[in-house]
């Protein structure tokens, strides 16, 4: 069993990420070797629980831990205050204390929600992330951002709460619905655009293996994404310098699309793919990003099966929703835009007309 370790170096908040195929059986050993915990509360959802909750409970109990579990409904609407309150009350019923670790077993929604519970219950419990979706494995499980959605804005209530451990079993990807798996590939492409042109080219050359869910290729890809994100988090853990904002490439558009469609018609990665396309088109229209590289991004997203066409929404409504983005300062929209593959920058002088222009349907090349 080959396991790749990536370390996130944050002083007292440092933690390892383990990536490998079929390593879920090692979760109990990894947790007990990393911390002194006698009680685990596993939070999962109705899709993931039937697949992996039993094995997760068993390997934790085999290490002598008391284990409780809560299964919430699958879907973005679960990442909300009513479900957070249910989980807080469940932890009271479970007699959770300082020896308790919250285990997030699921995709990005479960990771964000369970992480928010860990950050806030009893002013902070330890957190272990076991991401089972590609999107969570390469992005949301790493870096300590946790939170819930408001009706009017995504991820607006939350905290920075680093996990103590991240365990990524690429084998769980084989049980993902194809649409969910492909959705996660948007975040993979994102890393190539924002930080690593060589990695972007690697993705272009390995599309068949990626679409076939090849475990060796995926272990390499996921480990690279985690390393790239760890580098950014180490440089700007709490978004104080602005550097970490590059991870939000495409997300200002994407969050508006998700909010205006009530989190029901677009998966997060699908919205990000469209958002990246819009951001690249905007950058190209400013002559800060070449049309050839803009096309390469669009072509890679499309060949991976991701959407690139903006949803049929009012540009005025999209613009109004984008103004709720956390990168807005003094009422001014700021967007992450690409300069070249592997490099992006935060642009503050974006005119509303530029945004509405790129919301028009794309021309198929």
Report the SS3 class of residue 217: helix
- Neighbour count for residue 90 (Cβ, 10 Å): 18
Phi/psi-derived region of residue 106, left when phi > 0, alpha when psi is between -120 and 50, beta in every other case: left
The rounded distance, in Å, linking the Cα atoms of 337 and 83 is 35
Question: Is 268 considered catalytic here?
Answer: yes
Question: Is 339 considered catalytic here?
Answer: no
Q: Per the residue annotation, which of 39, 190, 268, 327 is the catalytic one?
A: 268
Q: Per the residue annotation, which of 161, 224, 229, 296 is the catalytic one?
A: 229
The rounded distance, in Å, linking the Cα atoms of 291 and 294 is 5
Question: Is 152 considered catalytic here?
Answer: no
Q: Per the residue annotation, which of 39, 126, 227, 251 is the catalytic one?
A: 251
**In the block, which residue shows the tokens 């992450």?**
336
The two tokens of residue 22 are 């079929």
Q: What is the C-alpha radius of gyration for the chain, rounded to an integer number of angstroms?
A: 20
Among residues 144, 179, 108, the alpha carbon closest in space to that of 12 is found at: 144
Q: Per the residue annotation, which of 126, 161, 224, 255 is the catalytic one?
A: 255
Question: Is 248 considered catalytic here?
Answer: yes
Q: Per the residue annotation, which of 201, 239, 345, 354 is the catalytic one?
A: 239
Q: Per the residue annotation, which of 123, 152, 205, 330 is the catalytic one?
A: 123
* Measured distance between the N- and C-terminal CA atoms of the chain, rounded to whole angstroms: 44
Question: Is 205 considered catalytic here?
Answer: no
Question: Is 161 considered catalytic here?
Answer: no
Q: Per the residue annotation, which of 79, 180, 248, 293 is the catalytic one?
A: 248
**Burial of residue 73 (number of CB atoms within 10 Å: 0-12, 13-18, 19+):** exposed
Q: How many CA atoms lie within 13 A of 134 on its CB side?
A: 32
Q: Per the residue annotation, which of 190, 244, 327, 334 is the catalytic one?
A: 244
The rounded distance, in Å, linking the Cα atoms of 97 and 19 is 29
The two tokens of residue 359 are 């919301």
Q: Per the residue annotation, which of 39, 79, 126, 145 is the catalytic one?
A: 145
Are 126 and 29 in contact by the 8 Å Cβ rule? The answer is no
Identify the H or E element spanning 32.
Answer: helix 27-34
Contacts for 178 with CB less than 8 Å, ≥ 6 apart: none
Q: Which residues are catalytic?
A: 123, 145, 187, 229, 239, 244, 248, 251, 255, 268
């Amino acid at each position: 069993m080959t396991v790749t370790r990536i370390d996130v170096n944050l002083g007292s908040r440092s933690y390892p990420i383990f990536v490998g195929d079929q390593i879920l059986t090692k979760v109990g050993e990894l947790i007990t070797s990393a911390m002194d915990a006698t009680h685990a509360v596993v939070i999962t959802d109705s899709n993931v629980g039937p697949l992996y909750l039993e094995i997760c409970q068993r390997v934790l109990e085999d290490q002598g831990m008391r284990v409780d579990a809560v299964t919430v409904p699958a879907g973005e609407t679960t990442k909300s205050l009513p479900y957070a309150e249910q989980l807080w009350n469940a932890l009271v019923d479970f007699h959770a204390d300082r020896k308790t670790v919250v285990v997030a077993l699921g995709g990005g929604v479960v990771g964000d929600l369970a992480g928010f519970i860990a950050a806030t219950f009893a002013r902070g419990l330890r957190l272990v992330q076991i991401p089972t979706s590609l999107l969570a494995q390469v992005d949301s499980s790493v870096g300590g951002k946790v939170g819930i959605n408001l009706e009017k804005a995504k991820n607006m209530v939350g905290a920075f709460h680093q996990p103590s451990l991240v365990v990524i079993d690429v084998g769980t990807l084989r049980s993902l619905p194809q649409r969910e798996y492909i959705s996660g590939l948007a975040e993979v492409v994102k890393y190539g655009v924002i930080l690593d042109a060589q990695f972007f080219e690697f993705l272009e050359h390995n599309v068949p293996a990626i679409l076939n869910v090849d475990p060796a290729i995926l272990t390499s890809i996921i480990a690279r994404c985690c390393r790239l994100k760890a580098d950014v988090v180490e440089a700007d853990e709490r978004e104080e310098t602005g550097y970490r904002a590059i991870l939000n490439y495409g997300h200002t558009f994407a969050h508006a699309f998700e909010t205006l469609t009530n989190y029901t018609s677009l998966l997060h990665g699908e919205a990000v793919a469209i958002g990246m396309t819009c951001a690249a088109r905007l950058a190209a229209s400013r002559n800060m990003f070449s049309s050839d590289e803009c096309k390469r991004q669009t072509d890679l997203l499309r060949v991976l099966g991701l959407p690139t066409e903006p949803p049929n929404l009012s540009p005025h409504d999209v613009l109004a929703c984008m103004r709720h983005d956390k990168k807005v300062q003094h009422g001014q929209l700021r967007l992450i835009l690409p300069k070249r593959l592997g490099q992006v920058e935060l642009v503050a002088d974006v005119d509303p007309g530029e945004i509405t222009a790129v919301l028009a349907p794309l021309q198929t090349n």
